[in-house]
Structure 1
Amino acid sequence: VNTKLSRQLHPPHKHIYFFLYCFDPLSVESKKAATVVLLLNSTEEDVLAKACDAIYKFASKGDENKLMLLELGAVEPLFKLISHEDPIVRRNATMVLGIMTSNNDVKKLLRELDVTNSVIARLVPEEDIIIHEFASLCLAHMAVEYTSKVQIFEQGGLEPLIRLLSSPDPDVKKNSAECIYHLVQDFQSRAAVRELNGISSLLELLKSEYPVIQLLALKTFGVITNDRETRVMLRENQGLDHLLKILETKEFNDLHVEALAVIANCLEDLDTMQLIQEKGGLKKLLSFAEISTIPEFQKNAAKAIAKTAYDPENRKILHEQEVEKCLVILLGADNDGTKVAASQAVSAMSENLASKDTLGIQGIPQLVQLLSSDNEEVNEAAATALVNLTTSHPSNASVVAEVDGIEPLINLLSAKRDGAVANAATVLMNMATQEPLRISIQNHGVMNAIVEPLHSTNSIVQSKAALTVAAISCDADARTELRNAGGLVALVKLLHSRHDEVRRNACWAVMVCGSDEPTAAELCRLGALDILEEINLSTGRKNNFSKGALDKLLDNNLPQKYSQMGYLSCNNIIADGFYDYGQVKPGVKLLSLEELTAQELDDHLAVVLKRKGKKEEEKPKEEEVVEPVASKVQMEVIPEKTLWLPPFDPILPEYITEASKAILPLATTKEQVVALAQFVVDKMGGPIERDKLHEFSWELHISEIEFELKCNVVPIGKINKGTFYHRALLFKVIADRIGIGCSLISGEYNRAWNEVKLVDDSPHGIPGLLLPPQEYVVDLMYKPGHLMKQRSAEIDHYKRI
């Protein structure tokens, strides 16, 4: 800018040439700066003025000279001289101080000397314009630092600086505007600018012929328009017209970025948004953004759209102006900052359903490409946009898969930025609500990739990763992959989280993962049951899924459930490999069947096993219709090692076949229950007289089987003399196979019983009346098949000694 600040400097030289005219016509030349600095203490005004002038020329040559003057002690006497009564001395001293404050060391000393009040005093209208120029320059340099900024504001410097914005001298305007720009970084100064009518003065600077002054005014507006009150005043003073005019003028392309930043702030207000639309400014703005070749302009345009789009009414207006077309273009820009800003704008616009539809078709292909960018901030912003586009929008989720978005999303699960990981997991979760997409995601190896986010220390990542597991683990193969990848360890660890959302989502994931026996068994082995029990006992930590997770684990690990709770419902179908270990206390580990089988024979109660033999596997197909398919025992594949199998039980399948043929043809459930009870009693040693129960030596029989097998685990089919809990277990096993609903309850002292629900016959005279089912306990000991109504004395006698 060709202002007075850009005056031609004197040719460079190393010395100060100072001519002192004494009374005699003799000139004295001084070539040492130290000598001239000493003259600053002179009492003669002419000497002081010429010394200051010489020092000004010397200091103008560069920072080294300013440091030399600082070391020579020139700053303090110069500071005193800016308040000198002689105007020329005052002017020359202010000029020196103005240019010297560009040096940080000089500024530090001036802060210690507390010069701001004296410099502000030089801004009064009575002072010379040159004093205004260099005093405002001094303040502009000082205002960069926070302490000085506060001092200038508190000592009333803002008012004269605003007044000087109307100075006829462009340098005064420039310095004052620069100082105000630094001051308004503080919210107190922003409010004061409004109160002192600084808005109109700053708007006048936009008309300046000097771009640097216009730029400072725009940068100042860019800060103060963060306040709504300022935006209103700007609109009332027709400031938007000035801003749009700058954008429309090609010669002002170096101001376009800053002008756009101000407009972006203003667009946050609906009234301003509507006004700009009415003037055609919004359409022009979007057009500029599409065709601009200036990266910063495109980035700021995208930021402006993002800011504006946070208001629902603004989103409607933007959609009407087809903002989506502009955003798609900006997503393809070469500048990473523009891509980030455009992705953020897409995220904001996705709150509008119509825009969500449009951007889903046009924007998702671009966003998926950005997922593979080398810039991690771009990755994160693109993933965030995809989260918003796919949430509650199945068709957009499908588009992500169609444009090969699954692989880059899974790759992002190992990104360094937590936001990118969390967002990628969320998109995958949104997609997984559709079964074909879920299967595709699973086939891309997501369960191995999700393990690392589960181990994250970031609670948001943990939460989203757990949700992703919950969304995809509804498939047995996915659960197996997660189990083999070690993901269950991390999932159980998340149950301990202090974050409610993480703990809730972990419970949800455990509930889903616990849907098959092998995974449920592994979760129990890792301690999930104990943690869930603890959570459910706490009113502050339990959640909507903690009880469901506990129930699911137990329902799919029936040996654990029966040992821990002493109860199996009619919905708990006993599968191959079930064993009755007996009651265990909370916190006590339930040994696996393999571990129990490996133990040495002891005198403890036998572990009763329900395990069918090979003969059942070779049965004709017509028999398979009678017996539902049994669940498989977890078999871990161990290379070069023989697989472990539970003890062989050839008799149980024969029992099931025999019972099926005899019982299923019976007409009523009640008849089937009675017949099954009689069948079980026959196989387990027959009925026993109540008074002679102590003579029924079932313990010796069980011991003989243990000795024969050299094992504490006894197959249920080999027991010919069984007591309450043997008979109740056999009844439950066969009932589950032939479709009779019954529960199994364990009591004390080796007592156990079965409960069934039966509907009594309708009372006479009321044909067709359906009565609610009644619960009965089935007698398997004294009167085989006798049905005892609940809450009766005979039931109490049956259950207890």
Structure 2
Amino acid sequence: MSHTTRGHNMGKKAKKEGETPCKETFEPLPVEGKTPETVVLLLSSPEEDILAKACEAIHTFAEKGDENKVSLLGLGALEPLCKLISNNNRLVRRNAFMALGIMATNGEVKSALKKKDVIPSIIDKLSPEEDTVVHEFATLCLASLSVDFVCKVQIFDNKGLPPLIQLLSSLDPDVKNNSLEIIFNLVQDQKSRLAVHELGGIPPLLELLKSDFPAIQRLALKTLQNITTDADTCNTFREEQGFEKLMDTLSNTDFSDLHAETLQVVANCLSDSESLHLIHKDGGLTKLMEFVLTPKTFDIQSNAVKCIVRVAHNYENRKMLHEQNVEKVLIELLSVADISVQTATCQAVSVMSFHFASKDSFRDLGGIPAVVQLLNNESVVLKEAATQALSNLTHSNHLNASAVHEAGGHEVLVQQLYGSCLSTVANSAATLGNMAAQEDIRCSILSHGAIKAVVEPLKSTNTQLLVNTTRCLAVLACDTEAREELQGAGGLHPLVNLLRSYHKEVLHNACWAISVCANDLPAAVEMCKYGALEMLKEINQSVNRRSRFSELAMISLLNSNLSVKYSLMGHLASTDVIYDGFYDAGKALAGQRILTLEEMCKQPVNKHRPIIVVNTAAEETVETEERQSNASETDTSSKAERRTPRKKKEEDKRKDEPLPESPTEKPWSMTEDVSLQLLIKEAKESIIPLTDEREQWAALARLVSEAMGGEVEMEKLHEFPWVLHLSELKFQLQSNVVPIGLISKGIYCHRAFLFKCLADCIGLSCTLVRGEYNRAWNEVLLFNRNPSRKERPAQPCRYIVDLMHQPGNLLTPKTPAAVQYQNI
């Protein structure tokens, strides 16, 4: 249009109503775009023909390389293309998809495309009515996007799976391949795996195994490998003759390049009994053994062994495999220079070890050293499998445990306890626990630092690791040296913390380990300090958590810490021999932890009742008493004196410790009790020579009574100044802890305490029972002689010893005199 004409038109008057408009047409103008900028601008044209040609030109340009794709992205081509894939014109839509699909294969373009809400539009064009070319490039676009988790969710949520499964039956191989790739990416997630099964995806996937294109066959197998991890899917797979089709593939030498992937699917399918039946029926097991015995590739070998692993989960199959000498084959495979083969073989050894005869075969054929050797490999997966194999091989098999020890496996396994793979640590602990049942092996394991190594695993939250580690510890801590090492390494605290576990096996094993560690007084005291008794008491009151293990742990702790036992239970049996450091802190209050003697000694003087303590050995007399103990011929005197070296050791240890920095904190020490030493000496000299038991008890009772203020009449008991006397002792000592020998005015509880102490020191047996309101008494057993027949009865008689009112008198329980002695 000329400038003159434009001017003329601008000056025209408005046409009158009813006039017919002028019918002028625009002659077509051929457009030739020589730069990508121009073509991108044409994507905004309102004319469909121009749009189609522009999209075609962009597709051609983008096909030439990634630089062109990125250039188009920079020019803003992505936005209009995302709109044009929904254009009403079929040709525009097809060409737009071709351009977008090619561009989406570039990483930068894909990242930009993820930010656009284009996935619903793409899925909408997967319908059967669309052109095959649209299907090809739409699926190409989705294949690029589906590697991203967010995009996978969008594809699934926008119901992309149904049309994609339909497209698996497309006549176009590119459409099949792209659709299959998208499905493969989606089935990495559980919900998509289940959906493919529910939407009927198994038959078309199996049909693709017949494809002329190896890439499609391999991708179909990989997809099947993912979805057959579900039991229901395996059932459908079997119903669709999937298993038979896999075996056909394995039997076809032309498909040897697919055998590795096929065997992986077979391994999944062998998880149920029906498939196991099929493999027997069609000679599949023989075929699997051929793949194992005839090396082709490492992938094929390892996957064939994985199938053997699945087959061996069945008892009858293990028996059959053993009869076919599978152990010999597996041992040979352990030396194959491929980690995947070695790992799968170790897994097979683990499963076959559930067959007792196979355990012996592996040992007899020299397989155990071969597995031990694999522990030195740097592969985390292989070490996990090797330790699992050793755990199963040594379970309930002492000969195999010895074989592992002879191969040096114990040393490597101890080091594995420091590893980062929890399964490997758990397997190593289980194996060491199996081996440590033999004393010589246990000593060897301990010599390599096993106790220190188990401390860190005790702090784990992994259930299986805790089950195996606590069991291992319970077996290892069978001697005092090991328990001392555990205490020194800080292992008692995490062990006690496991009493909070609600996992049955963890709790049982923790209780077992605690009962073993409680055999040493220092360990028992420390565990009580961490609240072990309170937690065990709570456990034993629970219907669901109580067990014989928790009861045993409670008993062991109490028996090893008689002070706590007496405080909690109010009763010491005649077999409970008290020792230096034993103290009576009174009856334990509900919910309150019983303090250790050290903690009590450090407390400032208070108004509460004193803590009465036993200290039979002075530092300068220990060596003399020890010599006397060694020279003594009687069990009675040595029983008490054997404890003095431990006391000396503890005091020497305390002397080496630095004094507390705080000026207000009292140093930990026990006051020497010379009076008690003299009483013990007198008891040994005057009572042991007596030949009559009654005379011995009576003489000991009189000795105790005289030491603590003599006979006190019942009516004048309130006048006896024992309270003032104890207060004065506390003031003099500047301590709440009072040695029993310093008490010269004592009543029931003090005299019964001293009586038990002296009786234990000279080898006599009596109980110590706490009553109410400072009452306590001792019970002894005596055989009453019949004057006429002079024969002892079958059962001894029990008596309560009077130490207060008629010292030496033996009271028959439940008589008025005995009841009066025991109660106010």
TM-score computed with the length of structure 2 as normaliser:
0.77
Change (3 A) 1:195 1:38: same
Residue matched to 1:373: 377
- 1:788 is matched with 811
Q: Give 1:269's aligned residue.
A: 272
Tell me if 1:745 matches 2:769. yes
Q: Distance in 2 between matches of 1:195 and 1:357?
A: 46
Distance 1:511 1:112 in 2: 66
Q: 1:16-35: CA deviations, max 9, x gaps?
A: xxxxxx999x9986421344
Q: Quick check: 507-516 or 526-535, which moved more?
A: 526-535
Task: Indicate if the aligned counterparts of 2:610 and 2:738 stay in contact, CA closer than 8 A.
Answer: no
Q: 1:417 and 1:198, CA in 2 relative to 1: closer, same or farther beyond 3 A?
A: closer
Task: Give the SS at the match of 2:803.
Answer: coil
Cα distance change on mapping 1:678 and 1:123 into 2, 3 Å = same
Q: What amino acid maps onto 1:656 in structure 2? A: K
Contact 2:612 2:740 in 1 (8 A): no
- 2:410 aligned partner: 406
Partners in 1 of 2:546 and 2:195 — Cα distance? 52
Provide Cα deviations, 1:24-70, integer angstroms capped at 9, x if missing partner. Answer: 9x998642134445556778887666555443322211233234445
Alignment of 1:209-608 (within 5 A): 209-228=212-231, 230-232=233-235, 234-235=237-238, 239-248=242-251, 252-292=255-295, 294-359=297-362, 362-456=366-460, 458=462, 461-495=465-499, 502=506, 504-533=508-537, 544-563=548-567, 565-576=569-580, 578-580=582-584, 587=592, 590=595, 592=597, 607=612
CA distance in 2, matches of 1:213, 1:284: 25
- Between the aligned partners of 1:92 and 1:582, the Cα distance in structure 2 is 94
Matches of 1:110 and 1:602 in 2, distance apart? 79
- Structure 2: how far apart are the matches of 1:644 and 1:174? 83
**Are the aligned partners of 2:539 and 2:546 in contact in 1 as well (CA < 8 Å)?**
yes
- Report the Cα distance in structure 2 between the residues aligned to 1:175 and 1:699, rounded to whole angstroms: 95
User: 2:801 is matched by which residue type in structure 1?
Assistant: V
Q: Distance in 1 between matches of 2:578 and 2:324?
A: 64
| Greater CA drift, 670-679 or 404-413 | 670-679
| Deviations 1:498-546, CA, capped at 9 Å, x for gaps | 7665555444333221212233234344554455455556667665444
Kept in 2: contact 1:247–1:253 (CA 8 A): yes
Letter in 2 for 1:114: P
Given residue 798 of structure 1, which amino acid in structure 2 is its aligned partner? Y
Q: Percent identity?
A: 45
Q: Does 1:732 align with 2:753?
A: no
Contact 2:165–2:204 (CA<8 Å) still a contact in 1? no
Q: Deviations over 1:596-634 (max 9, x none)?
A: 599999998694635155554444845434534333444
1:754 deviates by: 1.1
Secondary structure, in 3 states, of the residue corresponding to 1:790? coil
Who is 1:627 aligned against?
A: 637
Contact 2:705 2:804 in 1 (8 A): yes
Instruction: Name the amino acid aligned to 1:745.
Output: V
* 1:611 aligns with one of 610, 616, 620: 616
Secondary structure (helix, strand or coil) at the match of 2:391 reads helix
Does residue 652 in structure 1 map to residue 680 in structure 2? Answer: yes
Aligned residue type for 2:597? S
1:115 is aligned to 2:103: no
Q: d(CA) in 2 for partners of 1:186 and 1:759? A: 79
Moved more, 687-696 or 380-389: 687-696
SS at match of 1:424: helix
Give the direction of change, closer, same or farther, for the CA distance of 1:684–1:55 in structure 2 (3 Å limit).
Answer: closer
1:119–1:139 Cα contact (<8 Å) kept:
no
Contact 1:123–1:161, Cα closer than 8 Å, also in 2: no
* Distance (Å, rounded) in 1 between the aligned partners of 2:734 and 2:92: 115
Amino acid aligned to 2:260: V
User: Given that residues 120 and 158 in structure 2 are in contact (C-alpha distance below 8 angstroms), is that contact kept between their aligned partners in structure 1?
Assistant: no
Contact 2:288 2:308 in 1 (8 A): no
Q: Structure 1 pair 774/209, CA: closer, same or farther in 2 (3 Å)?
A: same
User: Do the aligned partners of 1:270 and 1:313 also contact (CA within 8 Å) in 2?
Assistant: no
1:157 corresponds to: 163
Cα displacement (A) at 1:469:
2.8
Correspondence for 1:661 among 656, 681, 689: 689
Q: Distance in 2 between matches of 1:142 and 1:702?
A: 86
Q: Distance in 2 between matches of 1:711 and 1:196?
A: 82
Supply the distance in 1 between the matched residues of 2:442 and 2:186 (Cα, whole angstroms). 56
**Structure-2 separation of matches of 1:743 and 1:86:** 104
Structure 1 pair 492–183 and aligned structure 2 pair: CA distance change class (3 A): closer
8 Å Cα contact 1:702/1:719 also seen in 2:
yes
Counterpart CA distance in 2 for 1:194 and 1:709 is 83
What's the secondary structure of 1:450's corresponding residue? helix
In the TM superposition, residue 114 of structure 1 has moved relative to its aligned partner by 3.5
How far apart are 1:233 and its partner, in Å? 5.3
Tell me if the contact between 1:116 and 1:152 (Cα under 8 Å) persists in the aligned partners.
Answer: no
* SS of equivalent residue, structure 2 residue 372: helix
CA distance in 2, matches of 1:204, 1:749: 90
CA, structure 1 residues 313+72, in 2 after alignment: closer, same or farther (shift >3 Å)? farther
| Structure 1 residues 343 and 657, CA gap change in structure 2 (3 angstroms) | farther
CA drift of 1:794 comes to 0.7
Contact 1:414 1:449 in 2 (8 A): yes
Shift, 1:431, TM fit: 2.5
- 2: CA distance, partners of 1:591 / 1:272: 64
Q: Which moved more, 1:318-327 or 1:564-573?
A: 318-327
- CA, structure 1 residues 329+149, in 2 after alignment: closer, same or farther (shift >3 Å)? farther
Query: Can you give the 5+ residue segments of structure 1 that lack an aligned partner in the other structure?
Result: 1-21
Whether the 8 Å contact between 1:100 and 1:106 is mirrored in structure 2 is: no
Query: Contact 2:125/2:135 (CA < 8 Å) preserved in 1?
Result: no
Asked if the contact 2:615/2:673 (under 8 Å) is kept, the reply is no
Correspondence 1:776 to 2:776: no
Displacement, 1:148?
Answer: 5.4
The C-alpha deviation readout for 1:344-370, integer Å capped at 9, x for no partner, is: 444344444444444466544333333
Distance 1:689 1:778 in 2: 16
Q: Is the 8 A contact 2:377 2:383 kept in 1?
A: yes
The Cα of 1:154 is off from its aligned counterpart by 5.2
Distance in 1 separating the partners of 2:459 and 2:119: 56
Distance in 2 separating the partners of 1:473 and 1:423: 19
- Distance 1:762-1:466 versus aligned 2 partners, 3 A rule: farther
Q: Distance in 2 between matches of 1:318 and 1:769?
A: 68
